[in-house]
């Protein structure tokens, strides 16, 4: 692994998941690997789980960690050839080259704008850093992908799955705010790499990008989609076609214990209780959300370990 | 010690203070204790001394430290059963469980609102984290208590006291802003645990909670209260009865060198010069405020040491 | 070295630069020097390079690093004898003494106001901390000086200079905002310590302080100044006489490849492309800006090493 910006950076997902599960049993066995190595984490957006789990993962490997919360005081220019006489005081060309000299790995969080579809699809921030940096880039959730979350999801699925080919349903849920597609995209792409029977369910108008969905089954009737599910991953996203719009907040799409039945419940967190999913599910025995969050550490750690080993 | 949210978590205050004074002589003797252990510090309010001293204490024990300044970007829900369709994006149930997986100890600062007395007395933030977390919670100043400050005060008192039972006066001081009761509460409660002759002095209307004061002497006449004092702890707080109100800014309550006489002067800092106390006191030989601030490190360190040893 | 607040703290610049270049070859050879030592970094202004390079430098020496971004929530009082009943909640007297107990070195960034010339020249923040702190102070850019940048510049010059006495030109450049004089001041003062042929070029009205310029040549005609230059350091600053004013944004002062010729290009970064300097220079082979930024680490590290060795 030379970078971890999307799931295509994974050579062998089975092996990676197994390696992560082994690592989890003894997280401190590679403390020497990160000696005198520095992870710089750049947050263009706020973070709880990603911040804590990735920092912990790096420290579990003996790395130094420097966290930068990027804000209005440090505005970057991303376009080529601009006359920089407005608000941006530094070009990403310099920023990426400079930080590369202080870091052995740069992890970046930069959400979708949800207003400029083309820019979001270009992954302006992430791809610019990747273009100019001389050290590996890790995606801590970009405009279109959240591959660390998807890896944690794969680890969790492996830990809790008894079947050879479980049925996995990604079910859209209502939410008061317009949310990005990154988690849903990466979850779908990850499931496409695994031996699972995947289907996606959402109201009409909430179709994810064709480039992501490919030939995955989409069922607009949630009840039909959930039938015989082993794992139900619930997540809100805004419309992709009517880009960034909230087309529906239909509460009948909220996940309930009755709908879930005996399936395992997954969500990336944070989750709005009694809007996305009812209390009974989250507080019940079939919720995997806390285990998923725990696996964020080992997903990040196995990625960083791979990057360190390939430097 | 299984947690340190209030002074009732202390088994034996004498022993704890003595242990802290020993630790201070060689702060790095337990560097292995915190190996591969992580302290997550959550600041719902800003901090200087608490941030620096607690972080230093943890590092003195070899712990990793992750600091999160919680702000508007991460609003937590604390009520049960809410339909979370407003601003809070995460419930403390998930937050506390999740952070517990990344941390071996969670330290929390969450001040009083001074507007909602009932909520403040319930210690909504601290008690919710304590309810749902699976690792020890440390109080870095909550709505009603500041037990790390009180422990630093006890250490300082021990270091500077020549008497068997010194006279200690907690004297209210004027301040332009409405301040919480946490420091005063914990100081009173700590003194009640020690062999001291304690009295509290403040203008009428500034009575602290009965649950804190118990049978401690309250003297409304500052001059009378200060007579023969060995230690004078000066602190402003807002009214408890007229909750959060500034009833008086009477400058005659400011501590002066003349009033102090030969007594030692204590204050938790930050302190407003020439409002709470005159320059002559702070710059004079009887001020213990810098020593007190130094003892914040050893107070935090002895608490963290106890928590680590009992895990 | 007992502190590093300005270039006068350097005993022997030749030796220091050579030591830094040696250190760069094996940055981790003094990991024991900083064991159980803490650097507290106080940022009164935002920072990228200085934050990352100084933190990395400290960690390269095995130090603990605690970063405090000082904001409106912690307003300091600097004047003596004030009645502190306004917004400042803590006096620098207490702050500096207290932080000195948690730190083995305090690094401070506090920019010029550019509105109050007298206060800026007094270096209120830096000098106050220096007055009351009991540990060494490092200047991470103050109102009038940026000695860590100047040291990185000296290291870079040494690395890239083939001549015994190269010609170095400091050339003013246009900029949409009013910028401080700190970088220009320290660069001039550093060059005055070295074996170089220095001249300064800027439009009339942009004269730097006489106390800085001394007998250094000033040439108002940029073309004449640049003739036969070996190194061209480009930097914007606001007027010193008409304090903090932007008198000119004359684009003909922008550095171009044509003007630069075969000279090496230097800039402290961040730099506004096509305002201060055209793309062709920054993207060309004669730009040293990335190397300069890299040397920030070793400048900071050699300073911290000296301070630790002299404690």
Q: Does A73 touch chain C (CB under 8 A)?
A: yes
Check C98 against B49: CB less than 8 A apart. Answer: yes
Q: How many other CB atoms are found less than 10 A from the CB of residue C283?
A: 12
Residues C136 and C201 in one domain: no
What mean pLDDT is predicted for residues C46-66? Answer: 96
> Does the pLDDT value for residue A4 go beyond 90?
yes
Residues C170 and C282 in one domain: yes
What A23-29 contacts at long range (C-beta under 8 Å, 24+ apart), as own/partner pairs, is: A23/A298, A23/A301, A23/A302, A23/A305, A24/A155, A24/A295, A24/A298, A27/A60, A27/A297, A27/A298, A27/A301, A27/B36, A28/A60, A28/B36
- What confidence category does residue C311 fall into, taking pLDDT thresholds of 50, 70 and 90? confident
Check B269 against C81: CB less than 8 A apart. Answer: no
Residue C178's domain comprises: 149-292
| Residue in C with minimal Cα distance to A100 | C294
Check A74 against C46: CB less than 8 A apart. Answer: yes
What mean pLDDT is predicted for residues B181-189? Answer: 98
In angstroms, rounded to a whole number, what is the distance separating the alpha carbons of residues A183 and A147? 8
Q: What one-character DSSP code corresponds to residue B134? A: S
In angstroms, rounded to a whole number, what is the distance separating the alpha carbons of residues C301 and C59? 9
Q: Contacts of residue B71 in chain A, CB cutoff 8 Å?
A: 46
Q: Is residue C1 part of a domain?
A: no
Length of chain B: 311
Q: Is residue A269 part of a domain?
A: yes
Q: pLDDT digits over C161-203, tens only?
A: 989 999 999 999 999 999 999 999 999 999 999 999 999 999 9
**pLDDT, position A142:** 98
When scoring B65, B270, B284, B289 by the number of chain C Cβ atoms within 10 A, the one with the most, hence best to mutate, is B270
C-alpha distances (whole Å) from C125 to each of A203, C74, C120, C136, C181 are: 59, 14, 9, 15, 16
Q: pLDDT digits over A9-26, tens only?
A: 999 999 999 999 999 999
Q: Is residue C283 part of a domain?
A: yes
The string of DSSP codes covering B8-60 is GG-S-HHHHHHHHHHHHHSTTTTTTTTTT-EEEEEESS--SHHHHHHHHHHHH
Q: Is residue A272 part of a domain?
A: yes
| Residue in C with minimal Cα distance to A133 | C290
- What confidence category does residue B46 fall into, taking pLDDT thresholds of 50, 70 and 90? confident
Q: How many secondary structure helices (H) and strands (E) does chain C include?
A: 12, 11
Check B55 against C66: CB less than 8 A apart. Answer: yes
Lowest mean pLDDT among A224-228, B65-69, C60-64: B65-69
**pLDDT, position A134:** 98
**pLDDT, position B70:** 84
Query: CA of B23, closest CA in chain A: separation in Å?
Result: 26
- What confidence category does residue C71 fall into, taking pLDDT thresholds of 50, 70 and 90? confident
**pLDDT, position A70:** 84
> Does the pLDDT value for residue B71 go beyond 80?
no
Which among C89, C244, A165 is positioned nearest to B267, based on CA atoms?
Answer: C89
B191-203 residues labelled b (16+ CB within 10 A) or e (exposed): bebbebebbbbbb
> Does the pLDDT value for residue C70 go beyond 90?
no
What mean pLDDT is predicted for residues A156-175? Answer: 97
Residues A65 and A87 in one domain: yes
Task: Count chain A–chain C contacts defined by CB atoms under 8 A.
Answer: 76
**pLDDT, position A311:** 83
> Does the pLDDT value for residue C308 go beyond 80?
yes
What mean pLDDT is predicted for residues B99-127? Answer: 97
Q: Contacts of residue B36 in chain A, CB cutoff 8 Å?
A: 27-28, 31, 60
**pLDDT, position C74:** 81
**pLDDT, position B74:** 82
Q: Is residue A96 part of a domain?
A: yes
Residues C30 and C73 in one domain: yes
Q: What one-character DSSP code corresponds to residue B274? A: T
What mean pLDDT is predicted for residues C119-144? Answer: 97
Q: Is residue C253 part of a domain?
A: yes
In angstroms, rounded to a whole number, what is the distance separating the alpha carbons of residues A213 and C163? 62
Q: Average model confidence (pLDDT) for chain C? A: 97
The pair of three-digit structure tokens given for residue B98, joined into one six-digit string: 């999740």
The pair of three-digit structure tokens given for residue A78, joined into one six-digit string: 């991303």
**pLDDT, position A149:** 98
A213-242 residues labelled b (16+ CB within 10 A) or e (exposed): beeeebbeebeebbeebbbbbbbbbbbbee
Residues A285 and A154 in one domain: yes
Q: Contacts of residue C49 in chain A, CB cutoff 8 Å?
A: 98
Which among C20, C37, C38 is positioned nearest to C29, based on CA atoms?
Answer: C20
* Rg (alpha carbons) of chain A, rounded to whole number: 19
Residues B154 and B139 in one domain: no
| Residue in A with minimal Cα distance to C293 | A98
What mean pLDDT is predicted for residues C28-49? Answer: 96
Please identify which residue in the block is written with the tokens 């966290």: A67
* Rg (alpha carbons) of chain C, rounded to whole number: 19
**pLDDT, position A215:** 97
Q: Does B68 touch chain C (CB under 8 A)?
A: no
Q: How many domains does chain B have?
A: 2
Check C56 against A102: CB less than 8 A apart. Answer: yes
**pLDDT, position C46:** 87
The ipTM assigned to this model is: 0.96
Q: Does C270 touch chain A (CB under 8 A)?
A: yes
Which among A175, A173, A272 is positioned nearest to B82, based on CA atoms?
Answer: A272
**pLDDT, position A226:** 98
Residues A226 and A94 in one domain: no
Three-state SS across C66-123?
Answer: EEEECCCCCCEECCCCCCCCCCCCEEHHHHHHHHHHHCCEEEEECCCCCCCHHHHHHC
- Does the annotation list C141 as a binding residue? yes
In angstroms, rounded to a whole number, what is the distance separating the alpha carbons of residues A275 and A263? 19
**pLDDT, position A208:** 98
Residues A185 and A51 in one domain: no
Q: Is residue B1 part of a domain?
A: no
Going B217 to B222 to B227 to B230, the CA torsion angle's sign is positive
CATH code of the domain containing C288: 3.40.50.1370
- Does the annotation list A146 as a binding residue? yes
Q: Does C62 touch chain B (CB under 8 A)?
A: no
Q: Contacts of residue A66 in chain C, CB cutoff 8 Å?
A: 51-52, 55-56
Residues B43 and B160 in one domain: no
Check B82 against A274: CB less than 8 A apart. Answer: yes
């Amino acid at each position: 692994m030379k970078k971890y910006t999307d799931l295509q950076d994974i050579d062998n997902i089975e092996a990676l998941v197994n390696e992560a599960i082994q690592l989890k049993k003894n997280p401190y066995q590679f403390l020497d690997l990160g000696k005198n190595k520095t992870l710089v984490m750049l947050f263009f957006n706020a973070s709880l789980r990603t911040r804590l789990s990735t920092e912990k993962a790096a420290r579990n490997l003996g790395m130094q960690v420097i966290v930068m919360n990027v804000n209005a005081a440090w505005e970057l220019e991303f376009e080529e050839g601009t006359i920089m006489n407005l608000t941006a005081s530094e070009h990403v060309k310099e920023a990426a080259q400079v930080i590369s000299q202080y870091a052995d790995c740069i992890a970046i969080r930069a959400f979708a704008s949800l207003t400029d579809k083309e820019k979001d699809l270009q992954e302006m921030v992430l791809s610019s850093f990747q273009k100019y940096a001389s050290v590996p880039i890790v995606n801590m959730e970009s405009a279109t992908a959240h591959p660390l979350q998807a890896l944690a999801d794969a680890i969790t699925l492996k830990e809790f799955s008894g079947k050879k080919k479980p049925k996995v349903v990604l079910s859209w849920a209502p939410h008061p705010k317009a949310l990005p597609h990154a988690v849903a995209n990466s979850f779908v792409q990850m499931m496409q790499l695994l031996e699972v029977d995947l289907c996606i369910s959402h109201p009409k108008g909430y179709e994810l990008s064709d480039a992501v969905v490919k030939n995955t089954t989409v069922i607009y009737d949630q009840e039909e989609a959930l039938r015989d599910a082993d794992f139900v991953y619930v997540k809100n996203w805004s419309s992709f076609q009517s880009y960034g719009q909230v087309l529906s907040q239909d509460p009948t799409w909220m996940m309930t214990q009755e709908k879930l039945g005996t399936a395992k419940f997954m969500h990336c967190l944070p989750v709005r209780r009694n809007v996305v999913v009812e209390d009974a599910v989250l507080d019940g025995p079939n919720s995997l959300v806390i285990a998923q969050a725990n696996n964020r550490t080992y997903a990040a750690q196995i990625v960083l370990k791979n990057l360190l080993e390939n430097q």
